[in-house]
Each structure stands twice: as C-alpha cells, then as structure tokens.
Amino acid sequence: MIGITAYGGYVPRLRLSRSAAAQANAWYAPQFANRKGTRAMANWDEDAITMAVAAARDCLGPSEDRGHVRGVLLASNTLPFAERLNSAVVAGALTLDDDVDAADTGGSQRAALGALTQAVARASAGGGDTLVLAADARKTRAGSQQELEYGDGAAAVLVGREEVVAQFLGAGTLSVDFVDHFRGAHEEIDYAWEERWVRDEGISKLVPLAVRAALEQAKVPAAEVDHFIFPSTFAKMDAQIAKSCGIRAEALADAMLDKVGDTGVAHALLMLAAVLERAAPGQVIVVAQFGSGAQALVFRATERIRSFKPQRGVSEWVARGVEEKNYTKFLSFKGQLALERGMRGEQDKKTALSTAWRHRTALLGLVAGRCEVTGSVHFPPSRLSYDQGKPLQDTQKPYKLADRPAKILSWSAEYLSYHPAPPHHYGQIDFEGGGRILMDFTDLDVGEVDSGTPMEMVFRVKDVDERRGYTRYFWKATPVRPSATH
C-alpha cells in the first residue's frame, strides 16, 4: 500500500486583523472597510524555509528517528533563494542524512500537489519515504484585495509504504497555460487578471476535468467522496466545482479563510492535513488545486488514521493565533516599510560561508556535543571537552537539542539596540540533560517570560545580509504554551 504515512502543518502565531488593515487604508480603498476576520501573518524572522521546517517537525515528531526519510520535496513560490537549494537548508535543520534526495519546486499554485504525485511515484519505484513540504509567504500591495485574502503558512505530508494513514487511489492532471495571475522573475508581487474570466473560463472549466480524471483512475464514484478540498478565495467556488462533479455539498472542507487566509501553494496540503485530523477509516478524500491547469488526487483513510497524531496539528496551530492590529508592523515584517534603525542597526552582516559550512550541523540542526566520559554537553561542539580540571580530547558525540525540554536561566528585554520587533528578548537557556546557550527569543509578549519559564526551540531567520541578499538561519526559544484546543 502506498500513501500518506504522516502529516502536519504550521500557521504563524500572529494574525493580522483585516479590519485594522482596512481602516488604515480606508482613505484610499474604502470598499474594504467592512472586511472581517484575520489572516495569518509571518513574524519578521519567518519565511518559506522556517515555516516548512515547522510543518515538517509537526509531521515527523522527535528528531531521533528520521533516518527513514529518503527524499525532501519543497514546493513554494516564495523561496528566499533563487540559487541555493532551499530544501537542503530544511533537511539540515531536520538533521536528515546528508545523502537524502532534496529538490525545490514551484512555478504554480498546484506545485505541492505535483510534488505529492512525485512522492507517490518515488514510493512506487522503491525510493523510500519522501517528505513533501509546501510553504508560502507572499507579498502584496498595500490597500489591495490580496493583502486581506492571503495568509502565510506551511504543510507537510510524508509518503511511503508502511503504516499508511491515507491510501493513494488515483490522480488527474491538466497542464495548460491559462494565466490567472503571474509574477515575473524579478518581481515580488503578482499581477492578477479579471476575476470573472478566471472563475468562469478557468477554474469552472479546468478543475472539474482533473477531478473527474482522478476519480476515474481511483474507480470511486463522485457521490462516495466524503471530503472535498479545493482552496479558492472566490466565494462558493468550491461548492460550484463539487456540484459540477457530482460531489455532495456536505463533503466540502473548511478553507479556513476567515482565520488564516489563502496560503498559496501550501493551502491544499494545509486543508488536507486539517481534514486528516478528523477523517474516519474508509472515508474518501479528494484534494484539488488550480494553477496553470489543475490537479486532483484521491485518497482513502485507513484504520491507521485513528492512531496517528501530529505533534500539534493544524487545528492547534489555528487555535493558538494572536490578533495583531498594528498594520505598520505587518508592513515592516513584510519588508514593505523602512523604519529608522539608528546607528546600531547599520553594521555589516556578511556571513563567512566557510565557517557556516564547518559548523553546519550545529547551526542548522542545533546539535551539541556530549562528552562520553563526563556526560557534559557543549555547544558549539568541539574536539575539546572543557570541564574544569578535566580537559579531554575527541570524547564528544553528537547530541541533538532542538526537541529537548528547556528553561530560561536568565533573560533580558531591551530597546537599546536595533531589533525588528522591539524589545529584543534574549537570554541563557538551559536544556534538560545538559547544555546551555545564549539565544534570541521569539513569538512572545512583553512580560510573558521569566527565569524558569519553560521554552521550546523553533528554527528561524537569524538575520539578513541585505547588501548581498543572504539569509542566515539559527534556532530561537519561544514559550511553551498549553494546548489552545483543550
């Protein structure tokens, strides 16, 4: 049996209030004044890579057992690097084996579904488990409809042969150059075509062809579909597609547009991960997405669906959101508002690539060294164990810290130096079992932390060398919060 063996998602904690954004632009775009709900908003230190890592961790669980992952496919239209293997950065953060087969894919809103079919093909050919990731953090023009409709997020599914939670049954693909929107190679913002044309001549005619082809290959009647996933910001577009294909109206999956928004390439997989959380054994799931044609896949949930749970799951990520009403913060985090940084923010941030390579395991994977003689944990790891009075050489073994419980030893929150989201929170973090690191904190409110506060690790942007266009990544600490769904 081939299919999805694990799944997960990620939605940033911050949620931009649509009404706050609309009010800020009411002088220019009064037509949006009554917009309600929120859209997911990436923090300043989040991008497609960091969100993909978060979704992958939600899917894979603790880092000690990931040797079975033999491939990583990262789908996105907003990858930070045009020429640097973004999926290799993700693989390093996940501490996957160096011989894992990693590839980036994009160019269409349905790139994630295309990657999913590639993963199925790899599994069919005996290529082992493949991790399919999708993430997007799109930029929009201020005062635009897209600014209110879009959202940032990521999703992950693992495809393989063992312990399948959703069996792959069939797929349908239509690849045509129907242009609903486009973005040139040197542009940051999409150009969209007329809505009615896209809806009537594009989506309503092309998507049903892919859905019917997938159902035919799966040998499943449309009336037996239990969950139909089709992300679209066009009102009732999913219902129209379902009706034209003979799928019951009650099968429509929640697109989460009111709280999250449309996360682009990631949205079909994000909805799929949400559906899998509540799917029952035997239920049929159809997931489709439009873009340069259309693509649809059919799955059937197995008995295994009852026992597998992601670390948090989409429902938990959605529930933990915090409303953000500062519209200028949103613009600043998106790099669309240049704020005064002061002289302390002027330093050059050139990265020594040779040093980054030599310490890649420690920097990307947060891997320390544990002395086999004394048991002491050292970060960064080195050939020398520097316990007082006990200098030892070559006694350290790799010791992963990213998933270990941790607490704040000491901390500071200061406004003196430049920081994209002041005050700058940082401090000494002690890890259970050994290890201490001076780290930045993220995703927290003023007054939320103190000495002894439990913290967990998240993979984030450390800083950006704007002169050369290089993004540097490292781990940060964030407060451990109780489940928002209980």
Q: What are phi and psi of 400, to 5 degrees?
A: -75, 135
At 482 the pLDDT is 83
At 344 the pLDDT is 76
Cα–Cα dist 310/275, whole Å: 13
First to last CA, the chain: 34
Under 8 Å between Cβ of 318 and 11? yes
Q: What is the pLDDT of residues 94-106, one digit of tens each?
A: 999 999 999 999 9
Q: Which residues pair with 326 in a beta bridge?
A: none
Under 8 Å between Cβ of 396 and 372? yes
Peptide bond into 482 cis (omega under 30): no
Query: Which domains, from first to last, does the chain contain?
Result: 3-333 (3.40.47.10), 366-479 (no CATH)
Q: What is the pLDDT of residues 247-285, one digit of tens each?
A: 999 999 999 999 999 999 999 999 999 999 999 999 999
Q: Which residues pair with 456 in a beta bridge?
A: 478
Region 402-426 average pLDDT: 95
Helix (H) or strand (E) holding 400: strand 396-400
At 303 the pLDDT is 97
Residue type at 396 in one-letter notation: Q
Task: Count the alpha carbons within 13 Å of 113 in the hemisphere toward its beta carbon.
Answer: 34
Planar angle of CA 409, 374, 359, nearest 5 degrees: 70
Torsion angle (degrees, nearest 10) of CA 41, 408, 419, 151:
-10
At 484 the pLDDT is 57
Q: What is the pLDDT of residues 119-154, one digit of tens each?
A: 999 999 999 999 999 999 999 999 999 999 999 999
Cβ atoms within 10 Å of 394's Cβ, excluding its own: 9
At 486 the pLDDT is 43
Under 8 Å between Cβ of 413 and 424? yes
**Is the pLDDT reported for residue 190 higher than 50?**
yes
**227-229 vs 377-378, strand pairing mode:** unpaired
**Is the pLDDT reported for residue 226 higher than 50?**
yes
| Coil, helix or strand at residue 267 | helix
Cα–Cα dist 96/101, whole Å: 10
- Quick one: what percent of the chain has pLDDT higher than 90? 92
Q: What is the secondary structure of 205-240 as a DSSP string?
A: HHHHHHHHHHHHHHT--GGG-SEEE---SSTTHHHH
Q: What is the pLDDT of residues 322-340, one digit of tens each?
A: 999 999 999 999 999 988 8
